[in-house]
Amino acid sequence: MTGFLPKNGGAFAATLALGAAGGGAAAAAGLPVAWLLGPVFVVSAATLAGLDTRMPDRLRDLVFFILGLQAGSGVTPDVLDQIALWPLSFAVQMIGVLFVIAATYGFLRLLSWDRQTALFSAIPGALSFVIAAASQTRADMTRITVLQSVRLLLLIGALAPALAFVEGGEGTVTVARGHAGTPGQYAILFGVSALAALLGHRSRLPGGMMLGALLSSAALHVTEIAPVPIPPFLAVPSLVLLGITIGARLQGLDRRGVVALIPASLGSFAIGLTVAGLSAAVAVLLLSLAPAKVALAYAPGALEALTVLAFQFGQDPAYVAAHHVVRFMALALTMPFLARSLGAPPVADQPPAPPASDSGIDIGEDGR
């Protein structure tokens, strides 16, 4: 769905209303990151019920741009002191990713999944590349898409409350960070960051729109050229729209198929989170890094959503985003070789998987 306007205006209006209501209810209940979690849960349910919850592509891009600006405002000069540790952290992360894939693959094989479907389902994130590669084999595309999508929803739903508990509850959740500034400073922030976001988009990096805005905003905040906060009237609706985008990941999936695959999804999620948690513990012990930001960086999937959570919990968004980009790029480069090594023509009568580009989560903001 391209452009800013949806094809089905009524369905989109209903989706916005549900997302806002979910955020308001979550906020009233005192949930952490309420304006993100509430829409995720409500819109996921609405999607499975048959509502067309897809968001127009250009509106989604605008949301990622604003959230990138916000995440960049959370980067502090202290980040520069730890950049030298990032390569070692990347190495520990990628070793952990290999163990996540191996452990999840073994679990799915125990459930009698064929080796191709089990392997592509075990890969954490990079869904567009996984789908493209798996389509060249005999893998069950529907199983792969369902498991990956449900695992993402579980990840977002589990991490936010866990971090809120570890970090001390609601007081850690922030919406705006920075100092009151002048119109000129806002013009600089939005203008320069728009150019950086466009470059990020053109670079074809995963999450390029958000990543470009994040890096530009971080530079302008660290240098105090434009250390201004993103106003709540932009930040809160952007969180709601991100929650809607995540909930729409289930668009096109058969409800009975999703229910049937819940045990496999729960098991895969538990294995991935446990192994990623062990990898994060190794990084914390070896490199003396903050546990919360390492947990967000090593979590298996959801580049944009976890970068936003890093900001919300006062962690280092640049560190988190960098690790997800490294994971994504490593997996994306591996996919063609993996498909070739498993090279068998796809089954002709296999139902097509739902498109992987509708959500923009962990596949690049423009669906690549």
Reported confidence tier of residue 208, pLDDT bands at 50, 70, 90: confident
Q: How far apart are CA 345 and CA 21, in angstroms?
A: 46
In this predicted structure, what is the pLDDT of residue 283?
Answer: 96
Q: Report the chain's terminal Cα–Cα distance, integer Å.
A: 14
Mean pLDDT of 10-21: 94
pTM of structure: 0.80
Q: Is the pLDDT of residue 295 over 90?
A: yes
Q: Is the pLDDT of residue 276 over 60?
A: yes
At 215, the amino acid letter reads L
Average pLDDT, the chain: 84
Q: Is the pLDDT of residue 348 over 70?
A: no
Mean pLDDT of 48-52: 90
Q: Is the pLDDT of residue 170 over 70?
A: no
Lowest-confidence segment of 18-32, 41-55, 249-263 by average pLDDT:
249-263
In this predicted structure, what is the pLDDT of residue 349?
Answer: 44
Q: Is the pLDDT of residue 364 over 60?
A: no
In this predicted structure, what is the pLDDT of residue 2?
Answer: 56
DSSP state of 249: G
Lowest-confidence segment of 67-76, 254-263, 353-362 by average pLDDT:
353-362
**Cβ atoms 130, 335 nearer than 8 A:** yes
Close Cβ partners of 282 (under 8 Å, ≥ 6 residues apart): 92, 96
Reported confidence tier of residue 33, pLDDT bands at 50, 70, 90: confident
Question: What secondary structure does DSSP assign to 138-197, as a single string?
Answer: T--HHHHHHHHHHHHHHHHHHHHHHHHHHHTGGGG--S--S----HHHHHHHHHHHHHHH
Choose between 198 and 336: higher pLDDT.
198
Mean pLDDT of 197-204: 87
In this predicted structure, what is the pLDDT of residue 190?
Answer: 96
Q: Is the pLDDT of residue 28 over 70?
A: yes
Q: Which two tokens stand for residue 12?
A: 């989109």
* Look-up of token digits 């604003």: 66
Lowest-confidence segment of 198-207, 317-326, 335-344 by average pLDDT:
335-344
- Where along the chain do its domains lie? 9-341
Q: How far apart are CA 304 and CA 72, in angstroms?
A: 13
Fold type of domain 9-341 = Na+/H+ antiporter like fold (1.20.1530)
Reported confidence tier of residue 35, pLDDT bands at 50, 70, 90: very high
Reported confidence tier of residue 366, pLDDT bands at 50, 70, 90: very low
Burial classification of residue 337, based on how many CB atoms lie within 10 Å of its CB (0-12 exposed, 13-18 middle, 19 or more buried)? exposed
Q: How many CB atoms lie within 10 A of CB 306?
A: 27
In this predicted structure, what is the pLDDT of residue 219?
Answer: 92
In this predicted structure, what is the pLDDT of residue 356?
Answer: 46
In this predicted structure, what is the pLDDT of residue 167?
Answer: 65
Q: Is the pLDDT of residue 21 over 90?
A: yes
**Cβ atoms 141, 349 nearer than 8 A:** no
Q: How far apart are CA 190 and CA 66, in angstroms?
A: 9
Q: How far apart are CA 274 and CA 265, in angstroms?
A: 14
b/e code 127-152 from CB counts within 10 Å (16+ = b): bbbbbebbbbbbbbbbbbbbbbbbbb
Say how far residue 13 (Cα) sits from the centre of its chain.
24
Q: How far apart are CA 280 and CA 265, in angstroms?
A: 22
In this predicted structure, what is the pLDDT of residue 365?
Answer: 39
Choose between 360 and 115: higher pLDDT.
115
Q: Is the pLDDT of residue 44 over 70?
A: yes
Per-residue model confidence as pLDDT tens digits over 128-160: 778 878 888 888 988 998 898 888 888 888 888
Lowest-confidence segment of 78-82, 147-151, 207-211, 214-218 by average pLDDT:
78-82
Lowest-confidence segment of 160-174, 219-233, 236-250, 310-324 by average pLDDT:
160-174
